[in-house]
Every structure is written in structure tokens, then in C-alpha cells.
Amino acid sequence: MRGDAAVPTLFNGNFDAVFNPQGGNRTIFSNAIPGWSFHNGETSASVTTNNLVDVNQLSASDAPALHAELDRIGVDRTKPNYALKLESGKSITHNRFVVPESGTLRFNLHVPNPSGGQLKVSIKGTESTTEEWQDLTPIELTRAANPDTLINPLDPNSLARPNAVGYYDYNVVGYSDPYTNKLAYAEQGFETFHLKIPDNLRDKPALLQFKVEGGSEVYLDDVFFNSVHLKLGNPTFARPSEDTHRENYLIEKPQYSLSYNDATKGPNWVSWQLNKSWLGTIGQGDLKLKDRNKYPPVGFPPPILDSGSGMTLTSPDSSYPPGYFVDYPWSVDPTLPDTWVKTQGPDYRRNQRNFERGHMTAAAERSRTYKDIYSTFLTTNLLPQHEDNNGGMWAQLEDYGRNQLVKDNNRELYIIAGGFDYSPAVPPGHSDLREINNKISTNTQGRVILDSNGTLTPNPKTIGIPNYTWKIIVPLEPGQGIADVTANTQVIAVITPNRRSRETPAPNYRLPDSPSYPNGFLPNGVTNWKNWQQWRVNVDYLEALTGYDFLSNLPEEIQEVIETDSSSPLV
């Protein structure tokens, strides 16, 4: 039985702290679910160990979609994995616990036949007998809109897909997200949901309750206060405080977690898990409408909109009008604080230095549902990357991890990536600009627009460009955790120059100096600029450059070994 950490953030949040829950001896003495059974307010609990189901033993007739999905992603069926089966009208409450000082509430849901209703989640402080239950955002037990659904049945081009990451609603003057708390992957597997906890309950004792209302039946699992994407650590101790952590602001999503820097308008780092369950068949081409005349797609929010009455409506985050065919579906991240300046897709174009909107969490690594792949097109998940970096060694490393490690060898990867060095100093061969500049002009209507013949002008949002990008990959077996990481665990660490490629070898090339590495790294130089393996370094070197504490959840004695390795054999 394992939780989300060495000391679980919620005892028995994965319902595995019980042996043979339907066994005769257990039901004779107690059918209580450890950690969950004693505060339901019932004389005789309606949810007991009889509601625990080993999902790995469900047959194809019991749960056909889940059975097929577990086979597809290569789950080891010999190991038990219990989930709680909750039917309509049933509820379960966790015994009193202390709410962690940080960390989103996350849980996994499988809903085999969504038929409406809600999963109600509530929390209640227990320091005083007068405290009331506080309802969190409910999970709607209905499907998120199919991206191919027609908003207008009479218009074959009015697809619903533009709204999969939410949109700017000009009627209510704010961002709307009608999809995050609806079901997508939950019909075939276990989908992760995140809910925000009231700040006034942090570090205080509380109760937590789940209740199903309506006609749906759900399987609940992995209830914890820690994102799975931060299993190996939070390298900058990021926190979701706009007052104290403006340059280290924690954002936790079901698809990835990140530390956002409002000064550079981009992530310090993005961290995510990758295994077969995240991979599907949706590609970036599926997000595009083939006919340029159909843009903007119905529902996709333009930064500037001309209303029917002739008024110009402007979202608070617009700099330039979009070119929909090239900017869609990049969108503002609505989870950033309302008062912060946010970036839009057009902010990165016409920069005249060949910088692209470079995904940190790749779209191809979140390809199982439209909701997942669209989440990678939020601008908090990008750094400006030179096209030779983004499409060269960076893309090669993505392919190696996704195809060879995950698809071919069924590994579960824990990945973290980011940028380094926004200083005014310009290493040889790098761009002379450390912030995004755009070529702009003023059109006949007096509006500032992006224009290839315009004047190169600093973007007003001061979007930083890193001189280098880096990535760390820790491959594990599916289901493994911190206790399974040993001194022999393979670690891949790279740092790549964010500049154009050199056509000739660079035998004297050096990466930046650091206190621990005064002569830089790559003592043998570079003979093939586009080969990601030639940019391998060790984690210790990346820590010296960035000041971050990577893999901080691992024991120190393990860190000391694997963080100094830069040449472990590759799978």
C-alpha cells in the first residue's frame, strides 16, 4: 500500500490500506474503510469495504471500456488496485485530518456510463462546532462537449472544439471554462480532477466528503493533496500566492504543474508525468479547420472583437489582432490572477528572430482527449524557442521519451523542463534580443497590427527569451514511486542552446560556467549539433546554474548518486 508520498497527504486516499476487503474475517470484525468510515454521521455506514472494488480484476463484461483501456496501457493485473464504488445518493467522509499548507485537492474518477448528476465535494473545518460544510466546485457527471459537436445544427462549420480550454466571454467580461469539470477520459479510464481548497482551512483540521447526486455511478480513487506531476518534488518551492510568489507562482492542472514567472511572462519550469494512459490518437492537425475562410472558429475568443453595433470590444490581454489560422488554439491561461498582464498567441509572432511558441509539455504527450491536448496550448506552457532548437534536438528528445521509452518499453516518465539565462549578455550565436520584439504597423483604421513590413518594436508585455532550455527525465516502471528510485535509476538531463544550429562541428563549444563547473560542461565539444545526446549534462550542473533543487522528494543519499551521472546507458 502506497500513498502519494512517503507520508501521504491523506491517509488511505487510494483505498489500498486494506487486505482482502470482502474477506470473511474482515466483515465479521469490521467492514469499516480505514481512514474514511467514522464520521459519516450514520449509525450504520452505507459505504463499507463492500464498496471497494479491485479494478484490475474487473472483467470485460463488468467494465468493458475500462478493461480494454487497462490492457491498452499495459497495467499489471496481478497487483490489486482498489477504488471506491459510489452509487447515486451515497456519500463517504474522510476522518479528521490536517489540510496541508499547499497542494491542490486531486482525485481520479472512472464513470462508465455518465447519465447526469454531480459528484459533490465538500470540506468542513473542525476547530469549532459552529463551522459549516463548504461546497467545492462540483464535477458534472456528463461528457465534456465532443469537439465535433455542431453548436448550430444547421451550420456544418460551427464545431464546438474551440472551447475545450475555455474562452473569453464578452457578455460577462471574463474567462469562462465550461469543460474542465466535465468528463472526458473518465469514461474509459481514471481521469484526474483538481479542486481548489479554501485558504482559511490550510494547516487546520477538517473533514472531506464526496457524494453522488443523480443517476450516475462512479469509481473514486487516489484522493490526495499533491499533484502526481510533482511526485519527485517542487524544485523552487512554488506557491499559489500572487502577493509573495509573483515570480514563482504555482499552477497545478490535471495535465501538468508549473511555476510561472510574471517578470518573464513564462514558466520557470513545467513538470509532468508521461505514461501510456496519456497517449491517444489526437494530433495537432485535428485541432485545425482546413479552410482558412472558416476562421475564427465558432466560440474561439478573438483578442479584439468588432460587435454588431460597431463597438470594438477588447479583452484585457490583447496586444495585436490575431491571425486565426496561425494563432489558434493558443489561449490565455485563465488561472493566472485577474490583475496580471497575460500573453496571447499573437504576442510571439513576427519576432524576426525565428522564435516559435515552444511547448514545454508537448501536445503529442497529451493526445488522448481534446480537453487534454488543448490544455497544452495555454501560453503559461510555452517558452520562446528558436526554430532550430524547438524542431531539432528538443523535438528529438521528445520523440525518444514518448516513443522509445513509453510506447516501446512501457516506462512511466517524470519530466521537468524550463529555460535558463534571461540576462542581457549575449552568448556567441544567440539572438541579440532578450525579449520578444514584433514587427508592427498601424492600419488604415488606426489599429496596431502585426506586419512583416512593419517596424521591429519591443512587445509591451516584456516577454523574456531564455538563452538555454533544459529538461530532466526520470524513467520508472508504471505505478512506481519514490521508494522505487535507487542509485541505479537512469536519469536523463540535457541543456540546449536556444539559438540557430551550427552547420559545422564545434569542438571548443562550452556551456555556461557555474561555481561547481568553472569550465562549463561538454568537455569534448559538439560534433553533431542536432543530436540531443551530445547535450547531456547532469542534474547537479543544472542545479548549479538555476539554483533549483530538483528531485527534492528523493532521499539525499539517492540524489547524491543519480544527480551527478551524465552518461547512464540509454534504453
Q: Examine residue 164 and state whether it is found in any structural domain, yes or no.
A: no
Same domain, 77 and 188: yes
pLDDT for the residue 148: 55
Same domain, 292 and 201: no
Cβ pair 227, 255 in contact under 8 A: no
Residues facing 523 on adjacent strands: none
Cα separation, 297 vs 324, whole angstroms: 8
Cβ pair 15, 80 in contact under 8 A: no
Q: Examine residue 65 and state whether it is found in any structural domain, yes or no.
A: yes
Q: Examine residue 241 and state whether it is found in any structural domain, yes or no.
A: no
Which residue pairs from 70-77 have beta carbons closer than 8 angstroms and sit at least 24 positions apart in sequence?
Answer: 70/189, 72/276, 73/189, 73/275, 73/276, 73/277, 73/478, 74/276, 74/410, 74/478, 75/478, 76/478, 76/479
pLDDT for the residue 524: 65
Cβ pair 465, 355 in contact under 8 A: yes
Cα separation, 481 vs 510, whole angstroms: 35
| 562 CB-contact burial (10 Å; exposed 0-12 / middle 13-18 / buried 19+) | buried
Amino acid identity of residue 451, one-letter, is D
Same domain, 490 and 354: yes
Same domain, 445 and 362: yes
Cα separation, 366 vs 379, whole angstroms: 16
158: which 3 cell numbers? 460551427
Same domain, 265 and 213: no
Cα separation, 147 vs 71, whole angstroms: 26
Q: Examine residue 167 and state whether it is found in any structural domain, yes or no.
A: no
5: which 3 cell numbers? 508520498
> Which pTM value belongs to this model?
0.92
CATH number of residue 317's parent domain: 3.40.570.10
Place of cell 534504453: 571
Going from the first residue of the chain to its last (571 residues), give the mean pLDDT of each consecutive group of 10, the final group possibly shorter.
Answer: 66 84 57 76 68 92 92 91 94 94 95 94 94 95 70 57 55 69 94 95 96 94 95 96 96 97 98 97 80 61 56 65 80 88 91 95 95 92 97 96 97 98 88 92 87 94 96 94 93 94 76 83 77 92 96 96 82 60
**Residue 238: C-alpha distances to residues 135, 232, 267, 383, 511 (Å):** 26, 14, 11, 18, 27
Place of cell 490583447: 318
pLDDT for the residue 20: 67
Domain around 554: 249-562
Same domain, 452 and 350: yes
Same domain, 256 and 216: no
Cβ pair 421, 468 in contact under 8 A: yes
Q: Examine residue 568 and state whether it is found in any structural domain, yes or no.
A: no
Q: Examine residue 496 and state whether it is found in any structural domain, yes or no.
A: yes
Same domain, 345 and 310: yes
Same domain, 364 and 268: yes
Q: Among the three residues 226, 259, 282, which one is the final residue of a domain in this structure?
A: 226
Same domain, 293 and 382: yes
CATH number of residue 128's parent domain: 2.60.120
Cα separation, 208 vs 221, whole angstroms: 14
Amino acid identity of residue 238, one-letter, is A
Q: Examine residue 420 and state whether it is found in any structural domain, yes or no.
A: yes
Cα separation, 385 vs 390, whole angstroms: 6
Q: Work out how many domains the chain is built from and give that number.
A: 2
Cα separation, 347 vs 308, whole angstroms: 26
Same domain, 435 and 511: yes
Same domain, 138 and 255: no
Cα separation, 341 vs 256, whole angstroms: 22
Cα separation, 293 vs 296, whole angstroms: 8
Q: Among the three residues 211, 226, 241, which one is the final residue of a domain in this structure?
A: 226
Q: Examine residue 157 and state whether it is found in any structural domain, yes or no.
A: no
Sheet holding 105-110, edge to edge: 52-54, 82-86, 218-224, 105-110, 191-195
